Amino acid sequence: MSESTLHLTADVLVIGGGPAGCWAALAARRAGASVVLAEKGYVGTSGATPPANTTLFYTVPGDRLQNDGMVDHRVAPAKGFIVRDFVRRVYDETTVNTELMTRWGYPWPRNETGKTFRGNLRGPDYMIFLRKRLLAEGVRILDHSPALELLTADGVAAGAAGITRRTGDRWEVRAGAVVVATGGCAFRSGVVGTHNLTGDGYLLAAEAGARFSGMEFSGQWALAPAEGGLTKGIIYFSGSFSDADGTPIPHPGVPDALAAGRSVHAVLDRADPYLEDGYRKGQPNIFVYFHRLGGNPFTDRYPVRLLYEGTVRAAGGLDVDERCATSVPGLYAVGDATTREKLTGAAMSGGGPAVAWCIASGTWAGQAATAFARQFAAGTAGLAGRPVHAIGGAGLRPAANPDPERTAEAVTRAVQQEILPLDRNYRRTGAGIAAALERLDGLWEAARDGLAPPAGATPRDIVRAREAAALVATARWILASAGQRTETRGLHRRADFPGLDPAQHHHLLSGGLDRVWVRRADPHEEAVAA
Amino acid sequence: MIELILSERCIACGTCAKVCPDDVLRTDAAGEPVIAHKEDCQTCYLCELFCPVDALYVSPRTAPDPTVDAAALIAAGLVGSYRRELGWARGRPGGTETDLSYRMHEAFTEPFGEIWKRSGI
């Protein structure tokens, strides 16, 4: 396989082409920046959005009842941390950008009153629409081009380097600012849309010194039909559950029943024909499973399972300020890659709030990154001449001799065995967390020292090794944070501390690679306590 | 998982391999798609959606599906069924304007259903 390196310069480099990355690229371009967007897969199909239909929260201008209702809806389940003014700004920014979509020709559906309804975005339609807009605005898209590591100049993010998966060619983008838009991490659990979401952006940001918040709020599991991977939850508002014998199980009891090894069946028996039509014509992806394998979910019971969605639909992620800057100069983060605690607290961030957050955070980060990049006024010639260092470590540059037994597949499986088993992870114990962390610390050292693509590695091998290192690192931030929160709150559940402790309404920041650290931080002064 | 490439329908346009978000589909020397890494398929149906001639079939099962029978699936109208349900045609988007999702949002328990009824713009 021939190998050459594509060298590019841009004011702003965006890593990841899901909705948040696309909005960041659009905002930066519209603010006058030159923009490269590098995506591991294909912009338009990659990430959690394209296979799904996503709810979108937004404010209707001038309707205070609607605005307050939208903002307050998630306050109770949040169990703290929500900042109402911040949520309001996110939804207001979303409305402004949906107006842009209207101007660009988005074919909104209409409700019974004939007004446009913007509360659902069909994934593939929305993402291809954004892809076309990126191209129209002059964003340079690199498809199938995973970023492997950051470039830094004196501690400032200065670009990234990666590989082109289909050819093996390398790429290097020197940039004035970098936006991480790599989504959350679901540990290859099998959830549709999450196969590419392996924490890559967390790892490359952490190597530059970025920190995380709320990684313990990541116990997000969702229902899928027993043999499928699509975890759309909205239909279960019209569902009933029962065990193998038909004994009813209340909805909140379903996860514990599955964790205890009971079989659970669902049926969508609480939808009238008008609503059934809404589901079928609004969310056709849900019904492909039944259409092709048989059975009518509105009348026939079907077995379900829980799949881990991790930080994709949860709360934890990179800690960012109000302009989406991380703690590393020149490095911004958006969408599911960031913490969403101010938006949805300790609870699930999907769908509507997180989808709005992708739009708002992308917009704010694109603008802020453009402003940051202006200091390199010499333009792209100045950027190209800046001395930079490639800072990637584990999975990319082994610290000792490569260990042929330490394959990406073996490392990935070992991480999954710690994070994915429902019985040990839906409700965790301090002892279980400590034991898992000890094993993962050993796995990290072994991976750091010996995990490397094999001789004659394909581009896929190279990417898989780096992904495996990212999975180990992510699992450690999650479990180290979970060990420090001795209560149950939102998506953090402790079997040994089943109640919420009002004294623990604080954030847990985390970070570090060889030595993982966790420390407390006060919530925003406007945060609503649980 | 991706199960079928119907070579008698395939026009070797390369779109499915281009849009696959992972390394599942590649094109061979003749430009025809081959399943290169089935184990990486995430059952997203997007290759099907973008195929202009309904030449692919993805089983809803996330593990290999031993029951797949091309002739039976074609006879049952299941090849290309997802893109028809969405309203896509020839690999191009369509149907968003007929999305009835507002009905499920408006059906939420009070007061949120009422909030969604006020959310038209």
pLDDT tens, position by position, A355-370: 999 999 999 999 999 9
pLDDT by residue (tens digit) across B30-63? 999 999 999 999 999 999 999 999 999 999 999 9
Reported residue count of chain A is 530
Asked if the structure places residue A512 within a domain, the reply is no
Question: Do A122 and A270 share a structural domain?
Answer: no
- Chain-chain contact of B20 with A460 (C-beta, under 8 angstroms): no
Asked if the structure places residue A353 within a domain, the reply is yes
Across the interface, of A60, A125, A238, the residue whose CB is closest to B121 is A60
Strand partners, B17: none
- Domain final residue pick, A277, A308, A339: A308
**Mean pLDDT, to the nearest integer, of A521-529?**
94
A87-101, A446-460, B98-112 — most confident range: A87-101
Domain of residue A493, CATH code: 1.20.58.100
Residue A3: pLDDT over 70: no
One-letter amino acid of B110: E
- Chain-chain contact of A119 with B101 (C-beta, under 8 angstroms): yes
pLDDT for A455 equals 82
Residue A264: pLDDT over 50: yes
**Mean pLDDT, to the nearest integer, of B6-25?**
96
**Mean pLDDT, to the nearest integer, of B85-102?**
96
pLDDT for A378 equals 59
Question: Do A372 and A267 share a structural domain?
Answer: no
- Domain final residue pick, A274, A308, A342: A308
Does any CB of chain A come closer than 8 Å to the CB of residue B68?
no
Residue reference for tokens 């929305």? A126
Does any CB of chain A come closer than 8 Å to the CB of residue B90?
no
Question: Do A184 and A90 share a structural domain?
Answer: yes
Question: Do A247 and A364 share a structural domain?
Answer: no
Tokens of A311: 């930080």
CB neighbour class for B78 (10 Å; exposed up to 12, middle 13-18, buried from 19):
middle
Task: Give B121's contacts in chain A (Cβ within 8 Å).
Answer: 60-61, 95, 98, 115-116, 118
pLDDT by residue (tens digit) across A368-418? 999 999 988 655 567 888 899 999 999 999 999 888 889 999 999 999 999
Question: Do A316 and A286 share a structural domain?
Answer: no
pLDDT by residue (tens digit) across A18-29? 999 999 999 999
Mutation target to probe the A interface, by most A beta carbons within 10 A, among B15, B23, B34, B44 is B44
ipTM above 0.95, yes or no: yes
CB under 8 Å to B73, separation ≥6 — which residues?
A292, B4, B57, B79
Asked if the structure places residue A315 within a domain, the reply is yes
pTM of the model: 0.97
Across the interface, of A41, A110, A111, the residue whose CB is closest to B22 is A41
Measured between alpha carbons, how far is A313 from A310 in angstroms, rounded to an integer? 7
Give the closest-approach CA distance of B5 to chain A in angstroms: 17
Distances (CA, A) of B108 to A77, A235, B7, B112, B117: 16, 11, 46, 6, 10
CB neighbour class for B100 (10 Å; exposed up to 12, middle 13-18, buried from 19):
buried
- Of A309-313, A358-362, A419-423, A456-460, minimum mean pLDDT range: A456-460
CB A307 within 8 A of CB A221: yes
> What angle is formed at CA A409 by the lines to CA A216 and CA A258, rounded to 5 degrees?
50
pLDDT by residue (tens digit) across A138-174? 999 999 999 999 999 999 999 999 999 989 999 999 9
Task: Give B18's contacts in chain A (Cβ within 8 Å).
Answer: 42, 143
Q: For residue B112, name the pLDDT band (cuts at 50, 70, 90).
A: confident
CB A324 within 8 A of CB A296: no
> What angle is formed at CA A318 by the lines to CA A337 and CA A326, rounded to 5 degrees?
115
Question: Do A120 and A73 share a structural domain?
Answer: yes
Does any CB of chain A come closer than 8 Å to the CB of residue B38?
no
Residue A71 has, within 13 A of its CA and on its CB side, a CA count of 21
- Provide the phi-psi class of B45: left if phi over 0, else alpha when psi is between -120 and 50, else beta: left
Domain of residue A269, CATH code: 3.90.700
Asked if the structure places residue A426 within a domain, the reply is yes
Domains recognised in chain B with CATH numbers? 2-90 (3.30.70.20), 95-121 (no CATH)
pLDDT for A1 equals 44
Measured between alpha carbons, how far is A393 from A400 in angstroms, rounded to an integer? 11
Distances (CA, A) of A443 to A27, A259, A450: 40, 26, 10
- Chain-chain contact of B23 with A165 (C-beta, under 8 angstroms): yes
Does any CB of chain B come closer than 8 Å to the CB of residue A239?
no
CB under 8 Å to A141, separation ≥6 — which residues?
A17, A37, A39, A43, A131, A134, A135
Question: Do A353 and A304 share a structural domain?
Answer: no
**What would the 3-class secondary structure string for A361-420 be?**
HHHHHHHHHHHHHCCCCCCHHHHHHCCCEECCCCCCCCCCCCCCCCCHHHHHHHHHHHHC
- Chain-chain contact of A112 with B86 (C-beta, under 8 angstroms): no
Q: Which of A312, A373, A328 is nearest to A206 (CA)?
A: A328
Asked if the structure places residue A508 within a domain, the reply is no
pLDDT for A453 equals 87
- Chain-chain contact of B115 with A73 (C-beta, under 8 angstroms): yes
Question: Do A67 and A180 share a structural domain?
Answer: yes
Residue A252: pLDDT over 80: yes
Residue A37: pLDDT over 70: yes
Asked if the structure places residue A351 within a domain, the reply is yes
Q: CA-based Rg of chain A, rounded to a whole angstrom? A: 22
Distances (CA, A) of A385 to A174, A330, A391, A421: 9, 17, 18, 49
Asked if the structure places residue A511 within a domain, the reply is no
Residues 47-66 of chain A with CB under 8 A from chain B are 47, 50-51, 53, 55, 58, 60-61, 63, 65-66
CB under 8 Å to A281, separation ≥6 — which residues?
B98, B99, B100
Q: Which domain holds residue A347?
A: 5-217+310-390
Q: For chains A and B, what is the number of CB pairs under 8 angstroms?
A: 194
Question: Do A231 and A259 share a structural domain?
Answer: yes
Across the interface, of A44, A66, A282, the residue whose CB is closest to B104 is A282
Question: Do A319 and A212 share a structural domain?
Answer: yes
Mutation target to probe the A interface, by most A beta carbons within 10 A, among B3, B40, B115, B117 is B115
**Mean pLDDT, to the nearest integer, of A243-257?**
96
Mean pLDDT of chain A: 96
Domain count, chain A: 3
